Amino acid sequence: MIKIPNIASAAKRLRQSEKRRGLNRSRKAALKRVVKQIRLHVDAGEKSDAIALLPQLSKAADKAAKRNTIHKNRAARIKSRWMKKVQAL
């Protein structure tokens, strides 16, 4: 059974939260997509291709952190770990 808000402010909050959820999911998906591409290149030992994707990783992580989709320290940790892995190739 779907609960429908009876109060106008509750209905608005529901609309806002659904919209934010969609935006957050798309930002996280963009970040995961870039991480997956980098992981494939790292596993294959393709350093130059992985290095080319690092700016995209930084952009996706920073965008997600800027909008509080993920914490800023998590974004920094993701960028740091992947840069370290790529440089180790």
Give the domain range for residue 37: 30-87
Q: Flag whether 12 is in a domain.
A: no
Q: Flag whether 59 is in a domain.
A: yes
pLDDT grade for 2, boundaries at 50, 70 and 90: confident
In total, how many domains does the chain have?
A: 1
Q: Flag whether 47 is in a domain.
A: yes
Contact 51, 9 (CB under 8 A): no
Structure tokens at 81: 């770990």
Burial of 17 (0-12, 13-18, 19+ CB in 10 A): exposed
Reply yes or no on whether the pLDDT at 71 is more than 90.
yes
Quote the crossing angle between the two packed helices 8-44 and 72-87, to the nearest 10°: 10
Question: In this predicted structure, what is the pLDDT of residue 35?
Answer: 97
Q: Flag whether 63 is in a domain.
A: yes
Q: Distance from CA of residue 57 to its chain's centroid? A: 9
Polymer length of the chain: 89
Q: Flag whether 49 is in a domain.
A: yes
Q: Flag whether 76 is in a domain.
A: yes
Q: For residue range 17-69, what is the model confidence (pLDDT) as tens digits?
A: 999 999 999 999 999 999 999 999 999 999 999 999 999 999 999 999 999 99
Q: Flag whether 25 is in a domain.
A: no
Contact 70, 64 (CB under 8 A): yes
Q: Flag whether 77 is in a domain.
A: yes
Question: In this predicted structure, what is the pLDDT of residue 1?
Answer: 74
